[in-house]
Amino acid sequence: MVKQRQLEKLKQRVEPENWTDGIEMPLALMGACHEDPAILASLAFRSIISAKQFSREQIVQLCRLAAKFEASQNAGYFPLTGRILISAFYEPSTRTRLSFESVWQRLGGDIISITDPSTTGIAKGESYHDVAEMMNHYGDVVVLRDSNEDAIYEMHDALRIPIVNAGNGIDEHPTQALADVYAIFKWQPALMVGGVDPKDRITIGIIGVPGRMRTVRSLLTLLSRFSGSINEVIIVSNTDEVFSEGQREELEKDGLRLRVTTELNKALPNMDIVYINAIAWVGDSYEELGTEYALTTKSPLKKNAIILHPLARGDELDTGLDSTPHNWYFAQARGAVYMRMALLSTLMRF
Ligand code: CP
């Protein structure tokens, strides 16, 4: 039944958000570094499977291009006209699928999509290799999400068009990590530029399990490219195996200073950024990790700390925080649209 509050809202016109609200942030990021398209040229017509593929300079230029799209709202630019995206999501998604599809259409392209593998030959035992061989003839790029972490590699072997990893099991989610660092660099562009004075380096808290969460794994890889701007990354977890084999060593080799703790509230007052996630996709379902950890309006957060979350959220992130300045998770999700715009337009520029 319609409630009184909804009746009142129904009387109002729906007004779009004023798109210039917050525009100073992408503008500040753009002002912090020069545009250098040559650095992105090497990504043209490449597949994107891992965050490890990105150099520091490429991340900076992708952030700058994303900021350019955000600041201009991509007015009247349709470089993907006549191109087709094959959007293959064999695992649930709200943000990643809809933002990729929205971006592709806003850039002028068309889409064919699969949201249920049972409607494709995979249900009849067809191999990923053969599905990919067919896709070569149907579109210009594939975006794949699959809980089977090997699926993307099998398809990559057979593809002659680029494939983008939109999340493969517990392995990687590189475009989410690009969106995460884009949010961080809009918050403090100086962190992206480098040469940060030791006293201004930030402490990042990650409430999650790097060895089992694809978002966290890819984010740590990208952060390791900017280790000179980071004082320390504190992982909050009470899992026995926090890192996968060789993961910690590789991050530390790249200069990231890592510490693991089980005591969230003791560590929180030191964190400038708090990244929280509680879900890892495994097989056809998900496992919740670290359910004893939660952020609420009562958490001892630093006054200016920002909270990031890849979403979807559960009980670990109190909705009471939505209306506080700590909430950067919705801006993070919004920025993913512009980051994917930057990435897709770069991949298709050939
Ligand atoms: N962040 C993220 O991957 O969200 P979805 O699962 O909704 O795509």
pLDDT digits (tens, 9 = 90+) for 204-227: 999 999 999 999 999 999 999 999
Averaged pLDDT, 281-306: 87
Rounded CA-CA distance 229/349 in Å is 31
Average pLDDT for the chain: 94
Q: What is the pLDDT of residue 135?
A: 97
pLDDT at 21: 81
Q: Is the pLDDT of residue 289 over 90?
A: no
Q: Which residue has the tokens 């509050």?
A: 5
CA separation for the pair 135, 41 (Å, rounded): 25
Pairing state of beta strands 285-288 and 279-282?
Answer: antiparallel
Instruction: Quote the ligand 1 centre to 152 CA distance (angstroms).
Output: 17
Q: Which residues are CB-neighbours of 120 under 8 A, at least 6 positions away?
A: 114, 126, 131
The pLDDT tens digits for 61-105 are: 999 999 999 999 877 889 999 999 999 999 999 999 999 999 999
Structure confidence at residue 284 (pLDDT): 73
Strands 163-168 and 84-89: unpaired
Q: Whose CA is nearest to atom 5 of ligand 1?
A: 93
Is the pLDDT assigned to residue 173 strictly greater than 90? Answer: yes
Instruction: Quote the ligand 1 centre to 136 CA distance (angstroms).
Output: 26
Token couple for 251:
């991050």
Tally: H helices and E strands in the chain: 13, 11
Does this chain's domain 40-72+79-172+335-347 share its CATH topology with 174-333?
Answer: yes
pLDDT at 157: 97
Is residue 350 predicted with pLDDT exceeding 60? no
Do the beta carbons of residue 231 and residue 201 sit within 8 Å?
yes
Band (288; pLDDT cuts 50, 70, 90):
confident
Domain boundaries of the chain, sorted by first residue: 40-72+79-172+335-347, 174-333
Q: What does the block give as tokens for 209? A: 């399990």
Copy the structure tokens of residue 91. Answer: 């695992």
Asked whether the predicted pLDDT for residue 17 surpasses 90, the reply is: no
Going by alpha carbons, the residue nearest to atom 6 of ligand 1 is 93
What is d(CA 229, CA 46) in angstroms, rounded to the nearest whole number?
29
Residue 337: half-sphere exposure toward Cβ, Cα within 13 Å:
18
- Does residue 202 contact residue 312 with C-beta atoms inside 8 Å? no
Residues contacting residue 294 through CB under 8 Å, at least 6 positions apart: 315, 316, 317, 318
Residue whose CA is at the smallest distance from ligand 1 atom 4: 95
Dihedral of CA 13/16/18/22: which sign? positive
Per-residue pLDDT band for 20 (boundaries 50, 70, 90) equals confident
Task: Output the pLDDT for position 18.
Answer: 80
Architecture of domain 174-333: 3-Layer(aba) Sandwich (3.40)
pLDDT for 45: 96
Residue 292 is predicted with a pLDDT of: 87
Per-residue pLDDT at 143: 98
Q: Contact, 179 vs 331, CB < 8 A?
A: no
Give nearest CA residue, ligand 1 atom 7.
94
DSSP, res 317: B
* Confidence at residue 340, expressed as pLDDT on a 0 to 100 scale: 98
> What is the per-residue pLDDT for 212?
94
Domain boundaries 40-72+79-172+335-347, CATH class? alpha beta
The residues lining ligand 1, judged by C-beta closer than 6 Å to any ligand atom, are: 93-96, 167, 173, 176, 310-312
CB 214 within 8 A of CB 49: no
Using DSSP's 3-state secondary structure scheme, residue 268 falls into helix
- Residue 187 CA to ligand 1 center (angstroms) comes to 22
Closest Cα to residue 26, out of 194, 188, 186, 189? Answer: 186
Could you read off the pLDDT of 192-208 as tens digits, one per residue? Answer: 998 899 999 999 999 99
pLDDT of residue 343: 98
Is pLDDT at 287 greater than 80 in this prediction?
Answer: no
- Tell me the CA–centroid distance for residue 124 and ligand 1, in Å: 27
The confidence band for 155, taking pLDDT boundaries of 50, 70 and 90, is very high
Identity (one letter) of the amino acid at 307?
I
Question: What pLDDT is stored for residue 344 in this prediction?
Answer: 97
Ligand 1 midpoint to CA 86 (Å): 18
Q: What pLDDT shows up at residue 37?
A: 93
What average pLDDT does the segment 19-25 reach? 86
Question: What is the average pLDDT across 18-42?
Answer: 93
